[in-house]
Structure 1
Amino acid sequence: MDEHPTHALDEDQQIAASLPAVIGPYRILGVLGEGAMGRVYLARETHPPREVALKVMRGLSRTAWERFHREIDLLGQLEHPGIVRLYAAGEDVVGGLVAPWFALEVVRGPDLHGYLQRDQPDLRARITLLAKLARAVDYAHRRGIVHRDLKPSNVLVDEHGQPKILDFGIARLHGDEGGQMTQAGQVMGTLPYMSPEQLAGNTRDVDARSDVYALGAIGYELLSGQLPHPRLSTSTLFEALDIVRRGNPEPLERVNKQARGDINLVVMKALAGEPAQRYDSAAGFAEDLEAILESRPIRARAPSWTYRSGRFIRRNRTLSAAVAVVFVALVTATIISSLAAQRARVALAQAQARANELSAVNGFMERMLTAADPEQAQGRDLRVRDILDVAAADLDGAQLPASAVARLQQILGVTWLGLGDGTRAGAVFTAALAHADLPAAQRDELLLGRARSAIIAGDYASGEQQLGQLRTRRATLAPALQIAMDESAAELLRESGKQKQAIAVLRQLLPQARQQLGANSQRSLGLQLQLSSALQLDGDYAGALEVIRDAAARHERVLGAKHPQTLYAWNQLGIVENKVGHADAAEAAFRRAAQGRLAVLGESHPATVMSQFNLGSFLIEHGNAKDGAPMVQRASTWFDANRPDGDSKALVARSVLAYALEDLGDLDGAERLLRGLLGTQERLGGPGAPDTYAPRNNLGMLLMKRGRYADALAEFDTLSQQVRQRLGAEHPFAAIFASNRGECLAKLGRLDDARRVLEDSHARLLKRFGAEHARTRTAAQRLAEVYARLGMSAQAQALQMPASKTD
């Protein structure tokens, strides 16, 4: 079943004779490996100059051809640091026969087993490698591709310790039966790493969770040195299915004492025999591995008593049935009589306490609301904030039960949250939590309120700490509160720059909320907005646009045009429409959100400030700095006064303001502002959220405008490294910033380097945005100019088009 050879360089495998001189546009240098389907050559490409792993098929069966071309189709959709990259594909005549080929990047390193033997990494390094592998698998899953043959020999590890997945020959799109390649009952894969449903040939049941099982098996072997089911390496298919169905793997912590605790729970959850008991996604698996590395709480929990007993019953049905009859008969009568009286006493006491609390709360709320009555206000025009301040002062001296005071403080906290004041809300929630003997459910609601307050105020460390207290009791929380907690966790991930983790949480959470709360519930609609925001920040603009357009229409239909959440949707729609180059639609959405928020929320509400900032930024970007700069200046002043030191929103606002100053001709002021905020950013650990990478790019562009090309290139080089390390090479910013770097190289006269950078940038932008997008046209124009200077007039002519405003 292992049909793919390794791509790792092995001199013993290189054959000196009987090699074709060229295949397609590649000169053959040697052989990297062979498999049943064909041979993999080490080859050299001329344009661009690089070595490739050239896989050439030599089998002529229809199934082999289908698998080969299917692998090409699937690899063409994947571009991730953790997946071997496809460069090109075609056909040639080799040995007198037509043979298809495709060229892959050369991974200069061994497969996973070879890497472990050679480098002997410690436990932490192994967990890190497994987390990177899971992230790569999740990337494929999010594009609908299930690998179905994950195993150590299909994972290469490069010289930087980055695992790279290869061999998508039996992969399929999620929900696709694989055409003629996979039939019901057909088993494809490698036995020790196949899930039970895959072993059983249940094609329709094989989904992303089957790859999660394979990741668990790889992780088990990675951390213990042995397979979860060692006998599978020598068993037949039918023996393998029986082994997996009848026996659970030995817990990882028993095989390796270093792997005790959380890592044992995480790996064993991925290895669960029942798909429903595993992680729903490779992202969930990766998130828990990363949580272990960062000493954060994990989401996995040990299998429950119910689950373990269910597994026992399935193996011993007859015995279990007999025991159950006797047990139920003996226990039922005893329980019913004793519980009835106890429940009646407890219910009566709780009802009386609740009635007293509600009475006190209602009385206080009545007094608070009458403060706005003209007779009480005596001519003053009281705002909601004024009423809340009066209520808080009255509450301090009120003679009320502690439970009623806590409930009122909770109401005040929720109201402050609605006004966007996280600091005031957090103080009220903290005061409420100080009361002793609060019901567990109310304490959990208060903890969540305090966590949300910290997130809104930009204190992400405190927000994570508060959510951590709730996670420890997740199983005891009501379903609605679980969803609310996960929503806040996703918001925290999104605000702190961890977009991929946020997307994974939201994709899992949104269907749950729709099922439990309804598709048109306010929380379900809000989760849809969060998903769009996270997708946009992660660079998936097409995905974000699809989600936000649907969300905006739903909000207006369900909540109305003036609801604050509807206005949030319009603001988000403007951001995404602008990213994809729809300037008119973006401006209309920004103006609708800004005007609506000003009318509904008032000028000092954080959401209003954000809308004014977004509209001002849009105007500056599109050449109207005169109107946009004052909006951004006001927003920047507000952010500086109300957000923590180094807050990403405050830094981005100053960056946009510097861009405006540059457009208005104040180059000295723009440079001072950019260098100051970059100093603050570096002092606090460097850029985080995607938008915080813009200041260094803007500084590089400003230095080019001033003719200081060497200084500009230094900034672009630093930026390129930061983006690759933290956002990933597939993020749109990587291609956008590379286009700017290519222009800088051209200004310095390094034309060959500029050509290589701009060719790659243009290809990525063309694939991402299409030929008509402004960023693609800018890269094309820059590349055409370099071609012309190199004397490549035909290539330059093919790309010539009107220049657009540089980024």
Structure 2
Amino acid sequence: MLRKAVEIRQEVPSGEYTEAYQALVTERLDTLMSVSILAGVLRDQGKYEEAEAMNRRALDGREKALGVDHPDTLTSVSNLAGVLGDQGKYEEAEVMNRRALDGREKALGVDHPDTLTSVSNLATVLRFQGKYEEAEVMNRRALDGYEKALGADHPSTLTSVSNLAGVLGDQGKYEEAEVMNRRALDGYEKALGADHPDTLTSVSNLAGVLGDQGKYEEAEVMNRRALDGYEKALGADHPSTLTSVSNFATVLGDQGKYGEAEVMNRRALDGYQKALGVDHPFTLTNIYNLAYLCQEQDRFEEADQYYLTALDGYKKVLGPAHPTTLACESHHASLRERMMN
């Protein structure tokens, strides 16, 4: 592209150089915009590796064309952070999210909607790393900002409500989490419709916190609704559909329906391995869940192997001190104790 610019300068009379150069720059930026849009489409389809490659291309191009602090460059940083998080690359995603947030605070101010998006995105990746208290603080900041800037019923505000509900649930604050999830679901249904993927995610999240409180029948109904909706909207193999399958398996297992839960769990596991790889945290969680289901059906040796696989993966991907790693380690120790008695 630099060579092309030099050639234009040699061929175009000096008085016309600026106009020709600007046209070339505009063409390049339009191309980068198309690359960025394509990356978003690929991400929505669950094609995360391809989306990452396209986002890296867009970011590299914008850094060269616009500089590292330009708002469009920061958007590429944020987009790349998102797809890194989708793949379980949480540490790199956190670094990129912090870069985007810092840049947007300086360029746009702390209350700009794009800045608040970076706050929310950072909160999400902190949550996945088990940094729940910091994630809650960031989510509350994002929610407060969105309510003031966009209103209580804006989809971005509702997403922030949903994210806050998630991290509250992670900390065992189930009643507050349920209230927030119901608010998000009601808002999404009104703003986006009952079948929109964001609405279905809210249905799934509400099902999860209902299950956490032992409200299994209602949780099962909500999980069936989410799964049916995802299959129709996104297809059977989309990562969001697989998450719904996994969640459904969990609530079935909680009700002692181990055989049916195992079928659903194996479906989710097979799908995650193909879509996300064997080391993705979502894949490992399904291995962990499968270990529990085997244990409850007295298939101890099989359960032991699944626990070992999940635990080894968690230590590598999330670290030995992550709450999920520690929980898996504890359950495995309990199984070993039962096997010895």
TM-score when normalising by structure 2? 0.88
Q: Find the counterpart in structure 2 of residue 612 from structure 1.
A: 161
Q: Please say if 1:480 is aligned against 2:58.
A: no
- Partners of 1:632 and 1:582 lie apart in 2 by 21
Query: Which of 524, 539, 546 is the matching residue for 2:73?
Result: 524
SS at match of 1:478: helix
- Partners of 2:192 and 2:87 lie apart in 1 by 23
Q: Please say if 1:509 is aligned against 2:83.
A: no
| Per-residue CA distance 1:532-589 (angstroms, 9 max, x = gap) | 1110011111110111122212221222111111111100010000111111111111
- Quote how far apart the aligned CAs of 1:647 are: 3.5
Q: Find the counterpart in structure 2 of residue 676 from structure 1.
A: 225
Flag the 1:652–1:492 CA change in 2: closer, same or farther, 3 A.
same
Query: Which of 252, 265, 269 is the matching residue for 1:703?
Result: 252
Alignment of 1:246-395 (within 5 A): none
Alignment of 1:566-585 (within 5 A): 566-585=115-134
The answer to whether the 8 A contact 2:84-2:92 is kept is yes
- Partners of 1:724 and 1:646 lie apart in 2 by 27
- Partners of 1:532 and 1:714 lie apart in 2 by 34
Q: Please say if 1:768 is aligned against 2:330.
A: no
| Per-residue CA distance 1:166-215 (angstroms, 9 max, x = gap) | xxxxxxxxxxxxxxxxxxxxxxxxxxxxxxxxxxxxxxxxxxxxxxxxxx
- Partners of 2:126 and 2:230 lie apart in 1 by 28
- Quote how far apart the aligned CAs of 1:627 are: 1.4
Gaps of 5+ in 1: 1-275, 277-305, 311-327, 348-440, 442-474, 794-807
| Per-residue CA distance 1:592-623 (angstroms, 9 max, x = gap) | 11101111111122211111111122212321
Question: Quick one: percent identity of the two aligned structures?
Answer: 25
Letter of the 1:780 partner, please give it.
E
SS at match of 1:790: helix
Q: Find the counterpart in structure 2 of residue 553 from structure 1.
A: 102
Q: Please say if 1:686 is aligned against 2:216.
A: no
| Per-residue CA distance 1:433-472 (angstroms, 9 max, x = gap) | xxxxxxxx9xxxxxxxxxxxxxxxxxxxxxxxxxxxxxxx
Flag the 1:665–1:534 CA change in 2: closer, same or farther, 3 A.
same
| Per-residue CA distance 1:58-99 (angstroms, 9 max, x = gap) | xxxxxxxxxxxxxxxxxxxxxxxxxxxxxxxxxxxxxxxxxx
- Partners of 1:509 and 1:682 lie apart in 2 by 31
Letter of the 2:236 partner, please give it.
G
- Which structure has the larger Rg? 1
Q: Find the counterpart in structure 2 of residue 629 from structure 1.
A: 178
Letter of the 1:512 partner, please give it.
G
Q: Find the counterpart in structure 2 of residue 804 from structure 1.
A: none
Q: Find the counterpart in structure 2 of residue 592 from structure 1.
A: 141
The answer to whether the 8 A contact 2:245-2:268 is kept is yes
Q: Find the counterpart in structure 1 of residue 38 from structure 2.
A: 489
- Quote how far apart the aligned CAs of 1:643 are: 3.5
The answer to whether the 8 A contact 1:533-1:544 is kept is yes
- Partners of 2:278 and 2:261 lie apart in 1 by 21
Letter of the 1:536 partner, please give it.
G
| Per-residue CA distance 1:118-163 (angstroms, 9 max, x = gap) | xxxxxxxxxxxxxxxxxxxxxxxxxxxxxxxxxxxxxxxxxxxxxx
SS at match of 1:546: helix
The answer to whether the 8 A contact 1:567-1:596 is kept is yes
SS at match of 2:158: helix
- Partners of 2:25 and 2:74 lie apart in 1 by 25
- Partners of 1:727 and 1:478 lie apart in 2 by 35
- More helix per residue: 1 or 2? 2
- Partners of 1:649 and 1:687 lie apart in 2 by 17
Q: Find the counterpart in structure 2 of residue 715 from structure 1.
A: 264
Alignment of 1:375-524 (within 5 A): 478-524=27-73
SS at match of 2:277: coil
Q: Find the counterpart in structure 1 of residue 82 from structure 2.
A: 533
SS at match of 2:164: helix
Letter of the 1:686 partner, please give it.
A
Alignment of 1:25-424 (within 5 A): none
| Larger relative contact order (Cα-Cα within 8 Å, sequence gap ≥ 6) | 2
The answer to whether the 8 A contact 2:56-2:80 is kept is yes
- Partners of 2:25 and 2:107 lie apart in 1 by 32
- Partners of 1:541 and 1:630 lie apart in 2 by 28
The answer to whether the 8 A contact 1:681-1:687 is kept is no
- Quote how far apart the aligned CAs of 1:665 are: 3.4
The answer to whether the 8 A contact 2:281-2:314 is kept is yes
Flag the 1:645–1:605 CA change in 2: closer, same or farther, 3 A.
closer
Q: Find the counterpart in structure 1 of residue 275 from structure 2.
A: 726
- Partners of 2:296 and 2:140 lie apart in 1 by 39
Query: Which of 114, 133, 147 is the matching residue for 1:565?
Result: 114
Q: Find the counterpart in structure 2 of residue 367 from structure 1.
A: none
- More strand per residue: 1 or 2? 1
- Quote how far apart the aligned CAs of 1:691 are: 4.3
The answer to whether the 8 A contact 2:188-2:199 is kept is yes
| Per-residue CA distance 1:774-806 (angstroms, 9 max, x = gap) | 111111112112222222x9xxxxxxxxxxxxx
The answer to whether the 8 A contact 2:246-2:265 is kept is yes
Letter of the 1:545 partner, please give it.
E
- Partners of 1:522 and 1:733 lie apart in 2 by 32
Q: Find the counterpart in structure 2 of residue 648 from structure 1.
A: 197
- Partners of 1:753 and 1:664 lie apart in 2 by 29
- Partners of 2:254 and 2:83 lie apart in 1 by 33
What RMSD over aligned residues (CA atoms) do the two structures have, in Å? Answer: 2.7
Flag the 1:476–1:673 CA change in 2: closer, same or farther, 3 A.
same
The answer to whether the 8 A contact 2:243-2:268 is kept is no
- Quote how far apart the aligned CAs of 1:646 are: 4.6
Letter of the 1:779 partner, please give it.
C
Q: In the comparison of the two structures, how many residue pairs are matched?
A: 328
The answer to whether the 8 A contact 1:549-1:573 is kept is yes
- Partners of 2:25 and 2:75 lie apart in 1 by 24
Q: Find the counterpart in structure 1 of residue 290 from structure 2.
A: 741
Query: Which of 752, 756, 775 is the matching residue for 2:305?
Result: 756
- Partners of 1:604 and 1:651 lie apart in 2 by 17
The answer to whether the 8 A contact 1:612-1:635 is kept is yes
Letter of the 1:496 partner, please give it.
Q
The answer to whether the 8 A contact 1:723-1:734 is kept is yes
- Quote how far apart the aligned CAs of 1:496 are: 2.6
The answer to whether the 8 A contact 1:648-1:692 is kept is no
